[in-house]
Amino acid sequence: MKRTSRKIIGAMLVVILVLTSLSSAMGETTLYLMGTNEGNDEYQMFSQAHPEVTIETEPSFLQSSNEVVTAMLAGEFPYDVFVMTSNSFDIKQMFTKGYCADISGSSVLSAELEKMHKPIEQLLTHEEKIHGAPFYFHMDYYTYDPVAWAAAGFTEEDVPQSFEEYLDFLEAWVERIKEEPEDDICVSNLFDSELYGEGSYINYLTDSLLTNYIMQCNYADEPLRFNTPLFRNLLERCQKIGTDLYVNEPEQKTDLGLFYDLFGMRNLPHLVPLRMTTDQPILIKAMMYMAFINARIEHQDLATEYVEAYVASIKPEEEAYLYRDAEPVEQKGYDRTMDAVQEEIEALEKRLSDAKLEPLELNTLQDQLAEMKLKLEAMATSDERYLVSPADLELYRTYGDCLYFQPPSIFDPSTEEGYNVRLLRESFSTGSLTVDEFISRLDELAWMLEMEGNI
């Protein structure tokens, strides 16, 4: 029903856009778009409805809020509609400064955003006004590997529920492999074998600690401070555990690793929450691509229609992550594959109806028929049927309010600005910085960024 209604909305939108274009005044109008290209679905939908509009596209987009604002203030940002990502742009700053137009007047966008998970709606809303629309979603989180977990003799009851419990688990694991060395299972097998050394596990654990500590502080809207009893204790434990893992695990890592960073819904049953303590909320780090309208441009109505086309063109597999009432998504070609297997079954049944079959051939065909029926049954119920299964969706909905869109920060080691933080972390991991020195340097960065308003 959900998918059908989305198609109806899309079809209605095309009709509305066509009628609007027919009633528009004659004369050439140009719409400038950043972050899209002519092959995109929303472009095709809009251009078909507005053949009278000239559309200029720039497929790439700027890398930060500061770049966008600088270009706008310099009069070098002609784009009516532009794309930003939640992890690289300070979305709320763009709203509070008035750079993104209020699009709450669009009944289409208001209705669609209201159906989405609350953290998504909240990210795109400022002072009860909507300023953007999402069209692509990604999330990642820490998991345990069920195969390695079972091989090590663990159950679901052993899964850590916080960073503190995670370190408790690792300490117990170290004691276990000291007494009974484990050659087939390791904590992580993702290290570069040529770079693996004494500081590798310390770096691995410290990276995770920093990421999740900062995320919890930001979520709680607390000042970022590293010289706290909690952070210091966890950091010291990361240092000791990392050293012990290096000493007691084989240098050559095995195929079975206990933990992995993964993404998508399918692995949520194996989530390991890395909040600092169990009294903090579970947060799942998410990222979105979103479309916005330049508040300073002339063609607000046309730009709004283009953003509406973005939403109408969201693919089913993206809908599954964005909408609370999304439907399961089958693999492409699933129906054709099922039909082919059904045809094979019918052909076998027809051959078996021949009363003149020899006993050997009869037995062979009966075995083939039984095998094909089992295959059909398995295909109808297995995970291979779905990109997003009913079970995936059911569990994902329980985590919908846990989605967290981390704002950009110099502390994000994946960014260019995070290079210095990566160097600090590596210096600590190799012993070049003590715990006190590392914490002091982190607090200096946090203080400077706070003064600049960039956290």
Helix, strand, coil shares of the chain, percent, nearest 5, are 50, 15, 35
Lowest-pLDDT range of 1-5, 130-134, 138-142, 438-442: 1-5
Q: Which amino acid is at 45?
A: M
CA dihedral 233, 238, 244, 247 (to 10 degrees): -150
Mean pLDDT of 78-96: 95
d(CA 168, CA 141): 19
Q: What DSSP character marks residue 282?
A: P
What is the average per-residue pLDDT within 386-407? 94
Can you name the residues that pair with 289 across neighbouring β-strands? 85, 136
Q: Which residues of 103-141 are buried (b: 16+ CB within 10 A; e: fewer)?
A: beebebbeebbeebbebbbebbebeeebbbbbbbbbbeb
Contact 39, 312 (CB under 8 A): no
Q: How far apart are CA 416 and CA 285, in angstroms?
A: 19
Confidence (pLDDT) at 453: 60
Q: Is 376 exposed, middle or buried (0-12, 13-18, 19+ CB in 10 A)?
A: middle
Q: What would the mean pLDDT of 378-382 be, rounded to a whole number?
A: 73
Query: What crossing angle do the helices spanning 300-312 and 107-114 adopt, rounded to 10°?
Result: 40
Bigger pLDDT: 224 vs 453: 224
pLDDT at residue number 15: 41
Banded model confidence at residue 413, pLDDT cuts 50, 70, 90: low
- If phi > 0 it is left, if psi is from -120 to 50 it is alpha, else beta; for residue 181 that is beta
Reading the block at residue 447, the tokens are 């203080």
β-strands 29-34, 53-58 pairing = parallel
For the ranges 39-53, 128-142, 403-417, the lowest mean pLDDT is seen at 403-417
The pairing of strands 185-186 and 284-293 is: unpaired
> How remote is the C-alpha of 443 from its chain's centroid?
29
Q: Give the model's pLDDT for residue 339.
A: 83
If you average pLDDT over residues 83-104, what whole number do you get? 95
pLDDT surpassing 60 at residue 16:
no
Distance from the first to the final alpha carbon of the chain: 42
The yes-or-no verdict on residue 12 having pLDDT over 60 is no
Tell me the pLDDT tens digit for each residue of 414-428: 666 678 889 999 999
Residues above pLDDT 90, as percent of the chain:
72
What is 2-138+288-328's CATH superfamily?
Answer: Periplasmic binding protein-like II (3.40.190.10)
Burial of 229 (0-12, 13-18, 19+ CB in 10 A): exposed
For residue 9, is pLDDT > 70? no
Here the tokens at position 454 are: 């960039």
Coil, helix or strand at residue 313: coil
pLDDT for the residue 417: 65
**Is the pLDDT at 451 greater than 90, yes or no?**
no
pLDDT band (50, 70, 90) for residue 322: very high
In the predicted model, what is the mean pLDDT of residues 274-286?
98
Mean of per-residue pLDDT scores for the chain = 90
pTM, two decimals, is 0.84
Burial of 452 (0-12, 13-18, 19+ CB in 10 A): exposed
Q: What is the mean pLDDT of residues 77-101?
A: 95
Report pLDDT for 110. 97
Q: Would the pLDDT of 403 be above 70?
A: yes
Say if residue 271's pLDDT is above 50. Answer: yes
pLDDT at 20 > cutoff 90 = no
What number is the average pLDDT over the span 247-258? Answer: 92
pLDDT tier at 23, thresholds 50, 70, 90: very low
Higher pLDDT, 23 or 439: 439
Q: Which of the 8 DSSP states describes residue 294?
A: B
Upper half-sphere CA count for residue 353 (Cβ side, 13 Å): 6
Within 328-434, where are the H helices? 334-352, 359-381, 390-398, 419-429
Instruction: Say how far apart CA 204 and CA 184 lie, in whole Å.
Output: 20
pLDDT band at 447 (very low <50, low <70, confident <90, very high): confident
Region for 35 from its dihedrals, namely left if φ exceeds 0, alpha if ψ lies in -120 to 50, beta otherwise? left
- Domain coordinates in residue numbering, the chain: 2-138+288-328, 146-257+409-452, 334-388
At 19 the pLDDT is 38
CA angle at 414 for the pair 63 and 202, rounded to the nearest 5°: 165
| Strands (DSSP E) found in 108-230 | 125-126, 129-130, 133-144, 185-186
The Cβ of residue 421 has, within 10 Å, a number of other Cβ atoms equal to 20
For residue 68, what pLDDT band results from cuts at 50, 70 and 90?
very high
Task: For residue 97, report the phi and psi dihedrals to the nearest 5 degrees.
Answer: -85, -5
- pLDDT of amino acid 410: 77
> Among 142-151, 167-176, 297-306, 346-355, whose mean pLDDT is lowest?
346-355
The strand pair at 125-126 and 403-405 is best described as unpaired
Whether 253 contacts 193, CB under 8 Å: yes
Contact 245, 176 (CB under 8 A): no
Residue pLDDT, tens place only, 109-164 = 999 999 999 999 999 999 999 999 999 999 999 999 999 999 999 999 999 999 99
Give the burial class of 363: count Cβ atoms within 10 A of its Cβ; 0-12 exposed, 13-18 middle, 19 or more buried. exposed
CA distance 299 to 293: 10
More confident residue, 375 or 434: 434
**Tokens 């210095």 sit at which residue?**
420
Radius of gyration of the chain (CA): 27
- Asked if the model's pLDDT at residue 274 lies above 90, the reply is yes
Following DSSP, what letter does each residue of 203-231 receive, concatenated?
Answer: HHHHHHHHHHHHHHHHHTT------SHHH
Tokens 């029926």 correspond to 373
354 vs 100 pLDDT, higher one:
100
